[in-house]
C-alpha cells in the first residue's frame, strides 16, 4: 500500500474537515479518530515504569523487531478498513497524535504527516465555548501543540511533512487542495471539493468527531465566525500567549481577516503548503529568532493530573448547573417528576401482585 497519511494539529483546528475532504478522494480512506498512537507509544515504552523503555529487550527483542510487529498490527487494521472502502491508501486523524509524531514516524517510516493550523483566537474560542477551557489554558495549549508539530515537521523534511492553514483551505479550496493532493503524490480528484456529497452518498454519519457535519460544504464564513465570542481582554490574553508563534505563521490578533503569506520566496514548489524544508527556511530567516524547542504537553488532553481533572469536573458541573437553570429545562424536569409520581402507585400495585403470586405458588 502507499504510505499512510496522518493528519495532526490542535483540537478545533479544522482537522475533521480536512479528514472528510481527503477521505473523499478515490484512493484515500481516513475514518473517524482512533487514538491508536497512544497504544503504539505505550507499547514501545511502558509508561510510569523505570524500565519501560527496555521491556522488550529483556525478552531478547530489538526495537526494530518490536516496531515491525506494531506496524503489522496497527497497519493491518487500517489496511482492512481502507480495503473495505475500496481504497488502497489509509490514514488517521486524531488531534492528540500531535504528541506522538516521533513514535508514529519511526514505526511507519514511509508515513507522511499533514498538519493543519487555525487562528489561535478561533481555537481558543471553540475550546472555551465547547469544552469550558479557561482562555489562558486554551491559548497555551495552542502554542505548545503547534510548537511540537512544527518541531517534528522540520525533522521530517520536505517529503514527509506539509502544513496548511484552515483559513487558506476555506478561502481558496481548489488551489490549496490541488497542491496538497499533488504533494501526497495522488492524482487530482474533483471529489475533494464536494466532500459533503461523497460522504452522504456513502452513508457517513451526519455528525462526526467534534460535532462536525459531514453534509456541510466548505464555508468561507466559518473562518472568522469566532471573532464575536471573545472580549477585548480575552483577545489580549490570547495574543500574550500565542503572539510570537502566531505571527510566525502569518496570523494577526488585531485583524483575523488578514493573513500574511505562509510560504516565502518564489523558488519553493508550493505557494500554500509549508513543507518541512520550507518551514526550516522560514524559521532560519525569521527575525526575531523563534525557538521551536521541545514543548511540554501540559495538563490538556488525555494525561490530566488529578487536580486538573477535579478542576475540569467543577467547570463541567458549573456549566451543567447553568443549563439546568434554563426555564425549559426546569419545566422538563418538573414534567418527568410528575410522571414518576403518577407511575409510582401502579409500580407498587404490580410489585404487590407479584409477591402475592409468589406466596400462592
Q: Determine the pLDDT at residue 309.
A: 52
Please name the residues in contact with 240: beta carbons below 8 A apart, sequence gap of 6 or more: 139
Q: Determine the pLDDT at residue 136.
A: 97
Residue 160 cell numbers, joined: 514527509
Condensed to tens digits (0 to 9), the pLDDT of residues 177-189 reads 999 999 999 999 9
Q: Determine the pLDDT at residue 223.
A: 83
**137-142 long-range contacts, CB within 8 A, separation 24+:** 137/299, 137/300, 139/237, 139/238, 139/240, 139/241, 139/242, 140/241, 140/298, 141/10, 141/11, 141/298, 141/300, 142/10, 142/241, 142/242
Higher pLDDT, 130 or 357: 130
Condensed to tens digits (0 to 9), the pLDDT of residues 217-243 reads 999 888 888 888 999 999 999 999 999
Helices 120-131 and 135-156 pack at an angle, to 10 degrees, of: 130
Q: Determine the pLDDT at residue 312.
A: 58
Strand partners, 208: 212
Looking at 223-326, list the stretches that DSSP marks H as alpha helix, in order from N- to C-terminal side.
232-248, 276-285, 306-324
Q: Say if CB 272 and CB 168 are below 8 A apart.
A: yes
Please name the residues in contact with 164: beta carbons below 8 A apart, sequence gap of 6 or more: 18, 114, 115, 116, 117, 176, 180, 272, 273, 274
- Residue 311 DSSP label: H
Q: Tell which residue, 181, 183, 182, 177, has the closest CA to residue 165.
A: 177
Q: What pTM, to 2 d.p., does this model score?
A: 0.83
d(CA 170, CA 354): 64
Q: Determine the pLDDT at residue 224.
A: 83
d(CA 30, CA 273): 20
User: Which helix (H) or strand (E) covers residue 275, if one does?
Assistant: strand 274-275
d(CA 256, CA 96): 26
Please name the residues in contact with 131: beta carbons below 8 A apart, sequence gap of 6 or more: 11
Please name the residues in contact with 95: beta carbons below 8 A apart, sequence gap of 6 or more: 8, 9, 10, 11, 13, 15, 33
Condensed to tens digits (0 to 9), the pLDDT of residues 102-130 reads 999 999 999 999 999 999 999 999 999 99
Condensed to tens digits (0 to 9), the pLDDT of residues 122-163 reads 999 999 999 999 999 999 999 999 999 999 999 999 999 999
User: Which helix (H) or strand (E) covers residue 212, if one does?
Assistant: strand 212-213
Condensed to tens digits (0 to 9), the pLDDT of residues 7-45 reads 999 999 999 999 999 999 999 999 999 999 999 999 999
Q: Determine the pLDDT at residue 156.
A: 98
Strand partners, 274: 163
Q: Determine the pLDDT at residue 255.
A: 82
Condensed to tens digits (0 to 9), the pLDDT of residues 333-355 reads 776 676 666 666 766 677 777 77
Residue pointed to by grid coordinates 404487590 = 352
Mean pLDDT of 195-206: 96
- HSE value, Cβ hemisphere, 13 Å, CA-based, for 25: 24
Average pLDDT, the chain: 89
User: Residue 20's CB: how many other CB atoms inside 10 A?
Assistant: 24
Please name the residues in contact with 67: beta carbons below 8 A apart, sequence gap of 6 or more: 44, 106, 107
Condensed to tens digits (0 to 9), the pLDDT of residues 258-292 reads 999 988 765 568 999 999 999 999 999 998 899 89
Percent of the chain, pLDDT > 70?
84
Amino acid at each position: 500500500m502507499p504510505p499512510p497519511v496522518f493528519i495532526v494539529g490542535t483540537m478545533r483546528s479544522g482537522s475533521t474537515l480536512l479528514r472528510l475532504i481527503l477521505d473523499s478522494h478515490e484512493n484515500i480512506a481516513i475514518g473517524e479518530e482512533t487514538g491508536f498512537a497512544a497504544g503504539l507509544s505505550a507499547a514501545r515504552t511502558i509508561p510510569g515504569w523505570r524500565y519501560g523503555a527496555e521491556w522488550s529487550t529483556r525478552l531478547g527483542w530489538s526495537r526494530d523487531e518490536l516496531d515491525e510487529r506494531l506496524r503489522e498490527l496497527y497497519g493491518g487494521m487500517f489496511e482492512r478498513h481502507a480495503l473495505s472502502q475500496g481504497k488502497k491508501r489509509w490514514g488517521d486523524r486524531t488531534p492528540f497524535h500531535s504528541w506522538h509524531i516521533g513514535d508514529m514516524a519511526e514505526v511507519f517510516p514511509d508515513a507522511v504527516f499533514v498538519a493543519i493550523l487555525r487562528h489561535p483566537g478561533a481555537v481558543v474560542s471553540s475550546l472555551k465555548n465547547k469544552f469550558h477551557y479557561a482562555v489562558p489554558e486554551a491559548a497555551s495549549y495552542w502554542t505548545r501543540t503547534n510548537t511540537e508539530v512544527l518541531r517534528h515537521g522540520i525533522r521530517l523534511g520536505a517529503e514527509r511533512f506539509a502544513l496548511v492553514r484552515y483559513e487558506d483551505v476555506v478561502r481558496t479550496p481548489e488551489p490549496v487542495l490541488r497542491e496538497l493532493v499533488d504533494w501526497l503524490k495522488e492524482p487530482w480528484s474533483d471529489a475533494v471539493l464536494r466532500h459533503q456529497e461523497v460522504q452522504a452518498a456513502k452513508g457517513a454519519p451526519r455528525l462526526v468527531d467534534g460535532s462536525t457535519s459531514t453534509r456541510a460544504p466548505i464555508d468561507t464564513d466559518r473562518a472568522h465566525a469566532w471573532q464575536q465570542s471573545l472580549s477585548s481582554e480575552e483577545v489580549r490574553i490570547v495574543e500574550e500567549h500565542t503572539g510570537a508563534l502566531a505571527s510566525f505563521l502569518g496570523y494577526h490578533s488585531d485583524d483575523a481577516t488578514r493573513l500574511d503569506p505562509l510560504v516565502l520566496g518564489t523558488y519553493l514548489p508550493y505557494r500554500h503548503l509549508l513543507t518541512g524544508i520550507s518551514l526550516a527556511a522560514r524559521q532560519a530567516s525569521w527575525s526575531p529568532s523563534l525557538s521551536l524547542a521541545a514543548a511540554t504537553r501540559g495538563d490538556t488532553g488525555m494525561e490530566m493530573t488529578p487536580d486538573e481533572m477535579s478542576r475540569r469536573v467543577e467547570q463541567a458541573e458549573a456549566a451543567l448547573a447553568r443549563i439546568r437553570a434554563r426555564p425549559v429545562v426546569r419545566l422538563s424536569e418538573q414534567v418527568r417528576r410528575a410522571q414518576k409520581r403518577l407511575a409510582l402507585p401502579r409500580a407498587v400495585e404490580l410489585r404487590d401482585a407479584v409477591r402475592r403470586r409468589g406466596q400462592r405458588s
